[in-house]
Amino acid sequence: MGGNQLKKLPITAAALGVTMLLASAQGVTAASSSNTKLNTSKTTTQQTKTVVHTLANLAPVKITAKSMVKLTDINILSQDEGSILTYTLTITNGDSKSLDLLDYWSKVKTTSGTIYSTSLMSKDKGKKTLSAGSSTTLTYVAKVAKNVKPSNLIFQVIKWDFSQANYESLKGQFKIPATYLTSTPENQSKTLKVFNTPVKILVNQFAAYSSGDYNYVNIGLNLTNIGYNIFEDPKLKFVIKTANGASYPMSADPSSVEYKIQPQDNKTLNLMAAVPKSMKLEKLELQLVQDDETTKLSLPIATMKLPDVQNKSLAVEPNVEKFVPLGSGKIAVSVRGATVLESFNEHDLSMRLMLRNTSGTTVTIPKYTFEVQTADGYRLPISSQIADNLTLQPLEERVINLSVTIPENVNYQKPQLFMNLPAATDSKESFSYPVGIFDLPELQPVQNMIGQKQYVTTSNGILSFTLSSIQRLPWSDGDLVSAKITVQNTGFKTIMLPSLIGELKLDSAKLTSDTKLIQTQSVGLLGAGMSSELYVVTKIPSYLDFSQLQVTLSEKLSDTVSSAWVQFGNSGGLPEIETIEVGKSYNIATSGRQEEIKINRSFVYTGVSSNLVYAELEVKNMEDHQIDLSQFIGAFKSDTGQTYKATVSQIDTSAGPEEKSIVALWAKIPKTLSTTDMKLVVGEGITDNKLTPLKGEPNGYVNAAAFALTMSPPSANSSLTSLGLFPYTLNVKNVKAALNGSSSVNVTFDYDQTRNMDYAIGEFSHKYLFELVDTTGRTFEKEFTPETDLKVTSGGSASFSFSDLAFEGRKIGNYTLNVYDLFQGQKVKLGSQNFYYDTSEVH
């Protein structure tokens, strides 16, 4: 009857196995009570006390003038094919000489004359004589009819007498009236001699609770060693016996295994049995059973009457602490919150359990197991576990986050949480023993949690987690879904974040293989009051539609075990990516890497078969120290939703405080695609489980914004001055194209070139393209690379030449000199000016 699958009425977590749980039980009733009252006339009246007749009321049988035998105990253990009877005779030798016990025997028969064979228990077979003035007990065993009752039996005391025909002399017999109680009355103790050690047993606690089709009966049985030697666990068995004779085995909690009790000390065994609800919890008895070597039977050695008990909820209310003894210490346990995330075919229930060490010593928390019982009787095991060797210092608190998935057709309202002791490794029973049952607060379905905050208590302090944003971002082979979670240290000391894992769930599909948790800090240290960002990212097909998203953040305890910390959900469509209007800036608030971004310029390079969209970002380091800038990823998005992944060029060195740099992004698009209202989606690149380092290769991005673009091409100057190729500016002057009568033309010019040193740039792929257009329509081109071919200088000069037979013998003419921004094979005109050929060298 294991508890690792959903089922109704399991017997997992089926026992209130510890004293602490019983301590909260009420309604234990006594079979009899007496009290006195003073009436208004001050006349004292004694209430009638119920008289209980026990075996002690039976007259003894005299076997000599001064020696006697009393019937002191009767126990019947019901079985399918019959019952096992044990009864105990107590013999008192009042004579002045020893009594030969071998001269005596006992028989048992029914009132109708059926005789049962008897034998002594193994422990009494060696008793042969009884010294003067002492007493002893002999316990006999017999197999009897299944439904026989003690009042149907006659117990005989016989002396062997060879002068009689059957060698037997009947010394006397016991007939028990039907009104007599043969078991130990409730609230009274019974003394047993087990393995020669006298032990007093007492039922000191009794409770029951309902679960599904069962009542779980729980007994606290106190054993007191009243002898002078240590009492070791005799491996007793325990049975609940109902009024109709049905027997239900009881299991002891794991802490009761292999115990030892010092002289004059005591121990309470916590016992549990599952009884069908069809059985009334009235006239119950607890039976102690011991295996006997001689008879090879399990024999009843004691029967304790139990009080009637009313079923009562033993659950602790939300936010109320339950105190659980733990070794020499004590912990307080309470449920501090619960949420439910609804999905299409299941619901994710998340609970927060607070453990607080209330003692002055360090305690080690057992590997408790947890289950949720729903209102309609289903038990659902919780996979969350306690970390190995978890210890709590005095007064230390720890929050355990528990989560379970509830099927859609199971009522998730008003569940209860069971916190169970770990099962003994050698236990053959399927019981788990709850140290506490907790009511959960009323659950409200959570739909949209962006901006909501949750708290987690760690061994070092309290962390808050906020679902800051959820984004769906275009990617080359699909889309990326990214959930940003901001974690803040709300305490007063630096803490180290543990190893965390993230999980995303879209509708009913859990995405695990392609889901990554991105930590923006390379070291998991979080100072007091500081915050950091985490991203849970996964890839999905671009065509996939979904209406619900759930994100779970868990602490990784081992390669196979994790404990859920927080869960967030979002229903309906995802929020649109933030749009940054033209002229506005976007601030990246990543801790330790704060940057300000804005569009520097954007335009279209018009090509023959395709166009090139181009944009430059101005990125400013807003930290007060040098940082490695984000490695940016972007995509151009048209107003019709089409996206084109951008190629990116940026600096591959660190940036100082307030330093600005230029990030260039471009993509090839069809000539027919409109660039009106086009946007540039830009985010921080990620590689595996971290932000992409310098010179790294991104495989995704997070924390994106959409920049509105003005894609009109720059207007060309009517001269060759102030030609902008940001961050360069070029002035071309003294242009001469000399004709020398041959087919070659030599072009020379002077120039001034400046560079805006406020900006750092990465690999610069722009070039100046000088184009000479002759009146004949012929064109001649020459490329110049800034700072390589054209220096940053004032008063520089450069030249280029070309040949064409059309110039042979030419003596006059004019031409146009165009200067372009040449980039990735596409060009944009920067300026243009007309000139006459220089013919001074023509003769």
Across 246-252, average pLDDT: 85
Model confidence at 160, pLDDT cuts 50, 70, 90, reads very high
The mean pLDDT of the chain is 84
Across 612-623, average pLDDT: 94
- Is 782 a residue whose pLDDT tops 80? yes
In tens, the pLDDT along 629-658 reads 999 999 999 999 899 999 999 999 999 999
**More confident: 90 or 589:** 90
User: Is-contact 500 456, C-beta < 8 A?
Assistant: no
pLDDT confidence of residue 135: 93
pLDDT confidence of residue 303: 92
What domains does the chain contain, in order, with CATH numbers?
Answer: 55-175 (2.60.40.1240), 190-305 (2.60.40.1240), 315-439 (2.60.40.1240), 453-571 (2.60.40.1240), 579-708 (2.60.40), 723-836 (2.60.40)
- Is 281 a residue whose pLDDT tops 60? yes
pLDDT confidence of residue 40: 36
Percent of the chain with pLDDT over 70: 90
Model confidence at 735, pLDDT cuts 50, 70, 90, reads very high
pLDDT confidence of residue 801: 93
In tens, the pLDDT along 476-505 reads 888 999 999 999 988 888 888 888 888 888
pLDDT confidence of residue 244: 84
Model confidence at 557, pLDDT cuts 50, 70, 90, reads confident
- Tell the burial category of 444 from Cβ atoms under 10 Å away from its Cβ (0-12, 13-18, 19+): exposed
Question: Rg of the chain's alpha carbons, rounded to an integer?
Answer: 46
pLDDT confidence of residue 327: 67
Cis peptide before 727 (omega within 30 of 0): yes
**More confident: 514 or 142:** 142
Cα distances (Å, whole numbers) of residue 406 to 372, 382, 411, 581: 9, 10, 8, 45
pLDDT confidence of residue 175: 95
CA dist., res. 406 & res. 287, Å (int):
40
In tens, the pLDDT along 19-69 reads 344 444 333 333 223 333 333 334 444 444 566 788 999 999 999 989 999
- Tell the burial category of 530 from Cβ atoms under 10 Å away from its Cβ (0-12, 13-18, 19+): middle
In tens, the pLDDT along 318-373 reads 888 888 877 667 899 998 888 887 776 778 888 888 899 998 888 888 888 899 88
CA dist., res. 623 & res. 268, Å (int):
64
Lowest average pLDDT, out of 232-246, 343-357, 411-425, 812-826, goes to 411-425
Lowest average pLDDT, out of 191-195, 674-678, 786-790, goes to 191-195
- Is 759 a residue whose pLDDT tops 90? yes
pTM of the model: 0.63
Q: What H or E segment, with its residue span, contains residue 424?
A: none
478 contact partners, CB below 8 Å, separation of at least 6: 539, 540, 541, 542
**More confident: 747 or 420:** 747
DSSP 8-class letter at 805: G
